[in-house]
Structure 1
Amino acid sequence: MTDLPNRVEITEEGPREGFQIEKGPIPTSDKIALIDALSATGAPRIQVASFVNPKIVPGWADAEDVVAGFTPRPGCEYFALWFNAKGMERAKTYADRLTLYSSITVTASEAFTKKNLNKDHAAQLVFQREHVAAHQAAGVPITRISVQAAFGCNYQGEVTVADAMRVIADAFEVAKDTGCAISKISLADSMGWADPAHIERLVGAVQDKYPELGIALHLHDTRGLGIANAYAGLKMGVRMFDAAVAGLGGCPFAGHPGAPGNIATEELVFLCQEMGIETGYDLEALLEAAALAQRIVGRQLPSNLLKGGSLSKFRRAA
């Protein structure tokens, strides 16, 4: 497929993705201020917090206070991350502010499964069945499959298309056995191993096998190929992407501290707008939010567009 989409949906994950790895502590008020700034950018969806064990991810010990404190904007969906039933129950307290849903999550690298979750693949599948049952009992829908380390792994090395497709098939078995209606597959380049050709191969394989499903890409810019990989996804017709304002964040278990995290939201929005693809974002407002994120963490963030700025003022002057 070579036709670019007319419009894409870019989910903003900066607050959750970013503040989980900062040495901090980041004041709760600053987290709320960034969420409110992002709400003013036209973002369709913002991941605002992680309901996880604060002993493991201390950056989100204040998840409840953050979720209670931001100001929702009509038309924007706010959601959170959790990994178990306890986290789900914490999130359910804020069902009036959050859209609640979860995923069947598998990892294409068993080494990363062990590092990240302290489980092998078989144990992860058992846990996912328990995870689904708990969410179904609580009335929380599970409509997507999420594949971590779908393109490669710092602990295992190469992850082939066949490796990724195998764990996707396992996830669909869980969905079939538990009665989950899956509508989306999210492919995560958790440690920055993807390149454009690999994006095309795996996205193409998923499209061929599951043509009825939407595909989302969660791309990290660890080795500078994030935007190139996003462009490869766009050329394959992918319409859903995750990104993080100013390039905040990264996985705390990925084994490369200090490396860039998700692709910067403003860079992906800029790419799309320059090619005539609608995003719904106000790029100038997004750059203001990126500058705020940089002030909050007190260090230079990876976004090149934050340094160089958009082209709007130069076009006005021409």
Structure 2
Amino acid sequence: MKPDVMQGPQGLPDVILVEEGLREGLQIENPRIPVADKIHLLDELSWTGLKRIVVGSFVSPKWTPQMAEIDTIVEGFSPNPDVVYTALALNKTGVERRAAYIPVPLSLDDNRPSTRLHLCDVFAQRNTNRTRQAEIDSWAETADRAVESGAAEAEIGVNAAWGSNWLGPFDLDERIEFLEQQHRVWESRGIRVTKVFLGDPMGWNTPNAVARDIKAILERWPQITTFHLHLHNTRGCAPVSIYAALEALGAGRRAVVDTSIGGMAGCPYCGNGRAATLSPTEDIVHLLEGMGYRTGIDMDRLIDVVVLAERIVGHSLYGHVSKSGPLPLAHERRYPMDLPFIETLAQAQHFRLGGDAYAGPIRPWRTPITSIYRPD
């Protein structure tokens, strides 16, 4: 098993958790954040136990100035040899720039060639300057190049899968139809489709729709082994949609799940800006561990990185575990029984800062609280 794969407990799929804070997160933040701060954030993130980190994107600085210094970041950070680092490239120029750093320190995300389609023609033009039809027209050339390179497996996918802020909702029949069209392109060239991408930049996902779609896809193409889920949390459904997806996938398959520290993410093209968050990495780690996954992630260190990210971007982020702390499972982590009133988010940081977080609040009880059920 690859080192970045979390083995699923009984009845559940394996999971690859992809950290998107340095790309999805910083691409919507102030472009004047010093590159030294970005490198520092990446270096700290590298030692949290996360195994796959997207360091940024090779895109035009004219339209995404936050990524203007991607070369400096890739050349300046200190890689952890146990981490797989990747970067996004959307066109030929970006692919050529990225190639200078492969295989070290960057890796390709997946060797499978892929075809994808934005169901929303408006978002496709706003995001990639291509129409939906132009994407369809590119499939044959992509598949022909894959044949020439000797590829045996391929990926198909739909983006803006469940709905559009401009065109409204899309139904299951539309998703299956466009996946079917892609599948035929690969099948006609003798290349097996083993992976599906489901993207949702505008946050239209719901858990019932995600689970239903996965079951329908697997019923139609049982040979598919991997699902890549890029679900934005714009309307609060992404974490429970991820849970529903894992339940629907079951054992023997693999889920690639995109998350971001603190939920830091957003899209300038979808109309929601920073409100188009991703699921906070720390919250999904908490969810996975509650489901029985052994993530190998140091939650304390991960929360410290979220706090660092908040300081760097200059505002609070959107996660829950970073605000309330991980579950105090160990006896030494449980709260003092005479803890005073805790009302503010700053005071709630006592799990991390101790008494320095709450100096001054009242204690209405006359004597210290004790319990026969907790002999300290």
**TM-score in same-fold range (> 0.5):** yes
- Work out whether 1:219 is the aligned partner of 2:231: yes
The offset of 1:24, in angstroms, is 2.7
CA distance in structure 1 between the aligned counterparts of 2:151 and 2:317, rounded to whole angstroms: 35
Write the deviation string for residues 5-55 of structure 1: whole angstroms up to 9, x where unpaired: 264221111111111111332211122112212211111211111011111
- Work out whether 1:34 is the aligned partner of 2:41: yes
Q: Show the counterpart of 1:60.
A: 67
The offset of 1:304, in angstroms, is 1.5
Q: Show the counterpart of 2:246.
A: 234
Amino acid at match of 1:183: T
Q: Show the counterpart of 1:185.
A: 196
Supply the RMSD in Å over aligned alpha carbons.
Answer: 2.5
- Work out whether 1:83 is the aligned partner of 2:99: no
- Work out whether 1:248 is the aligned partner of 2:275: no
CA distance in structure 1 between the aligned counterparts of 2:190 and 2:32, rounded to whole angstroms: 41
CA contact (8 A) 1:15 1:35 kept: yes
Amino acid at match of 1:37: E
The offset of 1:137, in angstroms, is 7.9
Q: Show the counterpart of 1:20.
A: 27
Q: Show the counterpart of 1:159.
A: 170
CA 1:11–1:263 in 2, change beyond 3 Å: closer, same or farther? same
Amino acid at match of 1:199: V
Amino acid at match of 1:97: P
CA distance in structure 2 between the aligned counterparts of 1:48 and 1:37, rounded to whole angstroms: 12
Larger Rg: 2
CA 1:133–1:220 in 2, change beyond 3 Å: closer, same or farther? same
CA distance in structure 2 between the aligned counterparts of 1:64 and 1:142, rounded to whole angstroms: 31
Q: Show the counterpart of 1:306.
A: 322
SS in 1 for 2:45: helix
Write the deviation string for residues 127-152 of structure 1: whole angstroms up to 9, x where unpaired: 34455667888999984334211111
Please report the TM-score for the alignment, with normalisation by the length of structure 1: 0.90
Amino acid at match of 2:51: P
- Work out whether 1:297 is the aligned partner of 2:313: yes
CA distance in structure 2 between the aligned counterparts of 1:312 and 1:280, rounded to whole angstroms: 17
SS in 2 for 1:262: coil
| Number of residue pairs aligned between Structure 1 and Structure 2 | 316
- Work out whether 1:175 is the aligned partner of 2:183: no
The offset of 1:306, in angstroms, is 1.4
Among all aligned residue pairs of Structure 1 and Structure 2, give the percentage whose two residues are the same amino acid. 34
SS in 2 for 1:20: helix
**Runs of at least 5 residues in structure 1 that lack an aligned partner in the other structure:** none
The offset of 1:179, in angstroms, is 6.4
CA contact (8 A) 2:227 2:256 kept: yes
CA 1:262–1:310 in 2, change beyond 3 Å: closer, same or farther? same
CA distance in structure 2 between the aligned counterparts of 1:62 and 1:272, rounded to whole angstroms: 34
Q: Show the counterpart of 1:112.
A: 123
Write the deviation string for residues 232-272 of structure 1: whole angstroms up to 9, x where unpaired: 11211263211111101122211112304111111000011
Amino acid at match of 1:201: R
CA distance in structure 2 between the aligned counterparts of 1:43 and 1:28, rounded to whole angstroms: 22
The offset of 1:287, in angstroms, is 1.1
Amino acid at match of 2:93: K
Residue 99 of structure 1 is aligned with which of 103, 107, 111? 107
Q: Show the counterpart of 2:348.
A: none
Amino acid at match of 2:242: A
User: Which one has a larger percent helix, Structure 1 or Structure 2?
Assistant: 1
Amino acid at match of 1:265: T
Residue 51 of structure 2 is aligned with which of 44, 64, 76? 44
Please report the TM-score for the alignment, with normalisation by the length of structure 2: 0.77
Q: Show the counterpart of 1:73.
A: 80
CA distance in structure 2 between the aligned counterparts of 1:174 and 1:268, rounded to whole angstroms: 35
Q: In terms of mean alpha carbon deviation, does 22-31 or 261-270 score higher?
A: 22-31
